Amino acid sequence: MIILLFMGSIALSQDLLINNNPYDNADETTKSRKAFQREKWFYEQRMYPENFIPSDAYEKAYIQKEDLKRSKGIAMQGVFDSWNSLGPRTGFYFAYSNITSRMTTVKYDPLNPSIIYAGAAFGGIWKSSNGGNNWTAMTDNEQSMSSGSIAIDPNNTNIVYYGTGEATYSAASYYGRGVLKSTDGGANWKSYPGNFEGLSYCSRLAIRPGNSSQLLAAMGTGGLYRSTNSGEAWIRIASGRCDDVIFSPTGDTAYAVGSGTGYLISYNGGTTFSSNGALSMGTRNHIAVVSQFHQLFILRDIRVQASQYSSQQMPVPHFHKLFQGRISAAVRHGMTFTCMSIRSTRITLT
């Protein structure tokens, strides 16, 4: 009996034998780090024995969890039913110093700003109906609670899209399970896992103005995707890492940025995109439109660049902007950019 127990402990401590395991290629110093060992164990349990995580693994695990709840009941009943909050409390996280948590996406109802949706890094969507004074968890029982992006249909604000997978590209970022959609303000959700390449990481969901059935999704390392049926099906239209995508206010033009896709522009509402060499990409890139000034802003690393743009439906007057103490012409259509240096500044994106 003693020998059997000893042999069993040895077997449990051994690494899983996985052909072409990328973790085996790390140097010995990296292998000795606890963070590496935790990540290695986490992914090896899921990619054994074929060296990849099946696309339906998350769904199968969710179904199994629900089956266990129905057949065995819910554990920790009795003295553990009541909990007292002990946080949030700050914790030290590498170069970011003390932090409490990661909040990856926040959106408010455009018709009722008191209704706010917030997505925590791996805490799912929370909803407030009174301007942020009280919050309710909305996705605790869904297939993924890893938050990437939230989008609210401006024509029917009960329709909410939840792109899962935190696209911050670190060992602490969990992958997601495609796109979830609610038609009743977050009370119930339907999963649309789609045919997203690899693991799901969602950096931005964008609804086309004037046509709410059309959406674009910047799916991180999976590329840029498009849906024409309100998020039920998705087609990849650009490969390579896509960090962000946005429509012009009229919806006829769309812009996408990413270290893999480069800078892309669509002049037909996101149907097709063409590459534009107006600027190079940084390690991480984000984009925003300031509609009242007819300007497009792109953030790459710690540098902000701006370009005036226009659409067929929105005539743009001649416009100048003051950058670094001098007047520079902002050129239309996002074709050229004026650089603005930011030094000793940390920017937090929400």
Complete DSSP assignment for 210-256: T-TT-EEEE-BTT-EEEESSTTSS-EEEE-S-B-EEEE-TTSS-EEE
**117: in domain:** yes
pLDDT digits (tens, 9 = 90+) for 279-314: 788 888 888 887 765 677 888 764 444 444 333 333
Look at residue 7 and tell me whether its pLDDT is greater than 70.
Answer: no
Task: Identify the three-state secondary structure at position 169.
Answer: coil
pLDDT of amino acid 88: 58
Please tell me whether residues 29 and 135 are part of one structural domain: no
What percentage of the chain exceeds 70 in pLDDT?
Answer: 73
Q: Are residues 314 and 209 in the same domain?
A: yes
For 84-133, what is each residue's pLDDT tens digit? 666 556 677 666 677 767 889 999 999 999 999 999 988 999 999 999 98
* 166 occurs within a structural domain: yes
Please report which confidence band the pLDDT of residue 347 belongs to, taking 50, 70 and 90 as the band edges: very low
Could you list the residue range(s) of the whole structural domain that residue 40 is in? 10-52
Residue 91 lies in a domain: no
| Pair (119, 268) in one structural domain | yes
Q: Is 158 helix (H, G, I), strand (E, B) or coil?
A: coil
Same domain, 145 and 253: yes
- Asked whether residue 62 is domain-assigned, the answer is no
Q: For 66-84, what is the mean pLDDT?
A: 69
- Biggest alpha carbon distance in the chain? 86
CATH number assigned to the domain comprising residue 334: 2.130.10.10
203 within a domain of the structure (yes/no) = yes
Q: What is the pLDDT of residue 1?
A: 43
Beta strands 244-247 and 235-238: pairing type?
Answer: unpaired
Would the pLDDT of 162 be above 90?
Answer: yes
Same domain, 113 and 246: yes
Q: In this structure, are 329 and 269 located in the same domain?
A: yes
pLDDT of residue 71: 82
The pLDDT of residue 74 is 63
Q: Tell me, what's the pLDDT at 52?
A: 85
What are the beta bridge partners of residue 217?
A: 205, 225
Give yes or no: residues 259 and 336 share one domain.
yes
Are residues 134 and 214 located together in one domain of the fold?
yes
Structural domains of the chain, count: 2
pTM of the model: 0.72
Same domain for 31 and 174, yes or no, is no
Residue 105 pLDDT: 94
Amino acid 228: pLDDT: 97
Return the ∠ at Cα 60 (arms to 57 and 64), rounded to 5°: 140
- Is 42 in the same domain as 137? no
Q: Which helix (H) or strand (E) holds 46?
A: helix 34-47
Distances (CA, A) of 127 to 111, 133, 154, 187, 235: 15, 10, 17, 10, 30
pLDDT of the residue at 207: 98
Instruction: For the beta carbon of residue 295, count every other beta carbon within 10 angstroms.
Output: 18
Residues 38 and 149 in one domain: no
Same domain, 47 and 167: no
SS3 category, 179: strand
**What mean pLDDT comes out for the span 184-191?**
95
Query: Has residue 327 got a pLDDT over 60?
Result: no
